[in-house]
Amino acid sequence: MASLAVTPMADNFLVPNATFFVELFAFLLLLFLLGKFIIPPINRAMTARQDAIREQFAELDEAKSEASAAEEEFKAQIADARHEAARIREEAREQGAAIIAEMREQAQAEAARIVEHAHTQIEADRKSAAASLRGEVGTLATTLAGRIVGESLDDEARQSRVVDRFLTELEGAS
């Protein structure tokens, strides 16, 4: 039987061999290549992406503040428009009331003028009727008196005095 002679070096797994050094060299080479050429562009891309996200958040905050300011301005404009509309309505009411008052005054003045004209017309008609009545009554009265008395009262002056006295007594009695 052949005895296997084991050399103490071959059996010791703690002692590195040539394969280990090749693998270590390949690992370190990969590590160097990754650190030099692959990881920096990835880091730059991640940093750029983070900066872009920060900018987007800043723009979003700015847009929110602008939107809030625009909304407040819009609300203020609406409130101003409502106040202006209320003021215009109030002015229109006041103008309408003034126009109504003016028209009422004009109508009252016109009514007073018409009433005054009617009074003047009535007074003129009354005077005309009274004069006409005096003439007719005078004629009838003198004719009647002449028949009663039996003498003629055709004298104008006498006839006028008799008629005036008769009408004065008639007015005093009523």
Transcribe the chain into DSSP letters: -PPPP--HHHH-TTS--HHHHHHHHHHHHHHHHIIIIIHHHHHHHHHHHHHHHHHHHHHHHHHHHHHHHHHHHHHHHHHHHHHHHHHHHHHHHHHHHHHHHHHHHHHHHHHHHHHHHHHHHHHHHHHHHHHHHHHHHHHHHHHHHHHHHSS----HHHHHHHHHHHHHHHHHH-
Q: Within 10 A of 146 (CB to CB), how many other CB atoms are there?
A: 14
Does 144 map to a domain? yes
Q: Which residues contact 47 (CB under 8 A, 6 or more apart)?
A: none
The 10s digit of each residue's pLDDT in 100-124 is 999 999 999 999 999 999 999 999 9
Does 34 map to a domain? no
The pLDDT mean for the chain works out to 86
pLDDT computed for residue 117 by the predictor: 93
Rounded-to-integer distance, Cα 50 and Cα 58, Å: 12
By C-alpha distance, which of 68, 66, 41, 107 is closest to 33?
A: 41
Domain extent, residue 108, equals 39-173
Does 57 map to a domain? yes
Does 164 map to a domain? yes
Q: Which two tokens stand for residue 96?
A: 């309408």
Does 47 map to a domain? yes
Contact (Cβ atoms closer than 8 angstroms) between residue 161 and residue 138: no
Number of domains in the chain: 1
Claim: this prediction has a pTM higher than 0.75: no
Which residues of the chain have a pLDDT value below 50?
A: 1-2, 6
Q: Within 10 A of 169 (CB to CB), how many other CB atoms are there?
A: 10
Does 5 map to a domain? no
Does 27 map to a domain? no
Does 169 map to a domain? yes
pLDDT computed for residue 10 by the predictor: 58
Q: Which two tokens stand for residue 174?
A: 């009523």
pLDDT computed for residue 16 by the predictor: 83
